[in-house]
Amino acid sequence: MAFETTLTGVLAFGALCAGLACAAPAAATPGLNERVVADPASGIALFGYDPVAYFTEGRPVLGKRVFEAEWGGAAWRFASAANRAVFLSAPEVYAPQFGGYDPLAVARGRAAAGHPQVFAVLRDRLYLFRSPDARDSFADPAPAVAEWPAVERDLTP
């Protein structure tokens, strides 16, 4: 009986610790900042896609946990240490414009998350879109640039 009580206590304590370990990072996860489109479960920016790969490979590439870095209140993943270093040397260049929100929605004063697999690199900047149709109708970032400060103000930092 003492063994069962001790084992039950240890298991309960382990479950409590595991729960706290899971809860603490979620509360402190940098990616839960709404100003950057992130996976709501993990808090990882761009749902784990490497922002540099859009430029170097011309396609979305999933990053790896081992090559993770924090910037702008979000956790970012990269496919390689080299991509992480490149990003950290100029994050404003490689991070998606408007935090990864669709520029057409931003131009209308709304924050609609872009999809990391629906993108365009235009004038050396990365844009994410919520649909291929939105991407195909995108021509000029100027309207979104004008509206972004107001949209961003409404997002939780």
Show me where the domains of the chain are located.
29-153
Give residue 151's pLDDT. Answer: 95
pTM of the predicted model as reported, rounded to 2 decimal places: 0.78
Is pLDDT at 137 greater than 70 in this prediction?
yes
Is pLDDT at 33 greater than 80 in this prediction?
no
- Burial track 96-120 (b if 16+ CB lie within 10 A, e otherwise): bbbbbbbbbbbbeeebbbbbbebbb
Is pLDDT at 37 greater than 50 in this prediction?
yes
